[in-house]
Amino acid sequence: MTDFSGKFFWYELMTSDPQAALAFYGDVLGWTSAPFGGDLAEPYHVVSGSAGQLGGVMAIPAEAKDCGMTPWWGGYVGSADVDGDVARLSAAGGSVKRPPEDISGVGRFAVMSDPGGAVFMLLKGASPDGMDAPPPMASGHVGWHELYSGDFDADMTFYTGQFGWTRGEAMDMGEMGSYQLISQTGGSDFQSMTGGVMPVPPMMPVPLWLFYFVVNDIDAAVERVTAGGGQVLNGPMEVPGGAWIIQATDPQGAMFALVGMRQDQGEA
C-alpha cells in the first residue's frame, strides 16, 4: 500500500455528458469503467487503466453548473488529516473553496486552491486498504502533472514547503518564463521528476493543473482523439527523455494531455 500523503493519486472528470466522456476516453486511453455503489448525490463511474483504478467520471453537480462550472479535470492529493491540512495550507497562502466534509463510503475531502489560484482537492479515503501506485508510465494512467501557475514563486514555495515536493532542473523558455521540474517523491534527478510548473501562458484562461495520460503510441492516440470529436490544441511535440506530448480538449470541452512514444521508438 502506497502512502499518498502530499501526492496526487486520484483524478476526476466533471463533465456535461458522462456517458459520452466514458466512451471517448475508453477509446483514446483503453479505460474500463464501472459504476460506484457508494452514497453519492450524482452517479459516479470509476475508471481503470492498465494498472488498476485511477479516477472517476461524473456529471457536473447542479449547484456547480449554476455557478458557471464547465467540464474540467481535477486532481486529489492524499491527506492523513484533511481538517489539519486545510488549516495548514490556508495559513501558507492557499484558499478554501469547499470546506472539509465526509462522503459516506468514500472518505473526507476538501477543495483548495494554491496561492496562484489553481484548484486541487484533498482526500483521506474511508477504506484502510488504500491503493498501490501504478508503475511509472503505465498505459492509461497519469504520467506527468503540469501546473500553469498564477503566481510562480508563491506556488513553488507553497508546494515544496507544504507537501515536501523537490525541485529538479529549471528550463528557460524565453518570453514564457521558466519551466521548473518538480518531484512529488522527493528525488532530484531527472528520473524522479513527476511534473513541471510554469507561469500561466496568455492563452490559458485561468491557472490550472493539467494531467498527462500515458499512451503507447502518440500518433495513433492523436488520431483517436480527433476521430472521437476531441480537439488537439498543441503537438505532438517532443520533450526531454524522448517522449512526445499533446494538449487537447475532449468533446465536452475539458482540457487534458497525453504523453507517449512514437511507434518506431517503442512503447511508453
**78-92 pLDDT, tens digit each:** 999 999 999 999 999
**pLDDT tens-digit series, residues 154-190:** 999 999 999 999 999 999 888 888 899 999 988 778 8
Question: What is the grid cell recorded at 11?
Answer: 483524478
Same domain for 163 and 235, yes or no, is yes
Pair (80, 146) in one structural domain: no
Domain that holds residue 75: 8-125
For the chain, give the longest Cα–Cα distance.
50
Buried b (16+ CB within 10 A) or exposed e, 83-108: eebbeebeeebbeeeeebeeeeebbb
The pLDDT tens digits of the residues spanning 35-56 come to 987 666 679 999 999 999 999 9
DSSP E strands, 66-199: 72-78, 95-103, 107-113, 119-125, 142-149, 166-172, 178-183, 195-199
Mean pLDDT of 94-119: 95
Q: Are residues 183 and 84 in the same domain?
A: no
How long is the chain? 268
pLDDT of the residue at 140 = 98
Question: Is the preceding peptide bond at 236 cis, omega within 30 degrees of 0?
Answer: yes
132 is a domain residue: no
Unique residue bearing C-alpha cell 528525488: 187
Give CA–CA dist 180/210, Å, rounded.
15
Q: What is the mean pLDDT of the chain?
A: 93
Q: Are residues 112 and 176 in the same domain?
A: no
User: 5 near 78, Cβ under 8 Å?
Assistant: yes
78/172 same-domain check: no
Quick one: how far is CA 5 from the chain centroid? 15
pLDDT in tens, 252-268: 999 999 999 998 754 43
All three cell numbers of 48, joined, read 481503470
Percent of the chain with pLDDT over 90: 76
**137 is a domain residue:** no
pLDDT, tens only, 119-139? 999 999 877 667 888 988 999
Rounded Cα distance, 3 and 96, in Å: 24
Query: Could you tell me if residue 152 is inside a domain?
Result: yes
Strand, helix or coil for residue 39? coil
**Cβ-based neighbours of 153, under 8 Å, separated by 6 or more:** none
146 and 257 co-located in one domain: yes
1 domain-assigned? no
Q: How far apart are CA 76 and CA 159, in angstroms?
A: 14
pLDDT of amino acid 266: 46
116 in a structural domain = yes
Q: What does the angle CA 11 – CA 262 – CA 72 come to, to the nearest 5 degrees?
A: 25
- The pTM of the full predicted model, rounded to 2 decimals, is 0.94
Reported as a single tens digit per residue, the pLDDT across 187-236 is 778 889 999 999 999 888 899 999 999 999 999 999 999 999 999 999 99
Long-range residue pairs from 31-40, CB within 8 A, at least 24 positions apart, any chain: 31/140, 33/57, 37/105, 38/103, 38/104, 38/105, 38/106, 39/103, 39/104, 39/105, 40/103, 40/106
Distance CA 75, CA 109 (A): 12
Question: Same structural domain for residues 228 and 153?
Answer: yes
**Chain center to CA of 106:** 19
Residue 88 domain-assigned?
yes
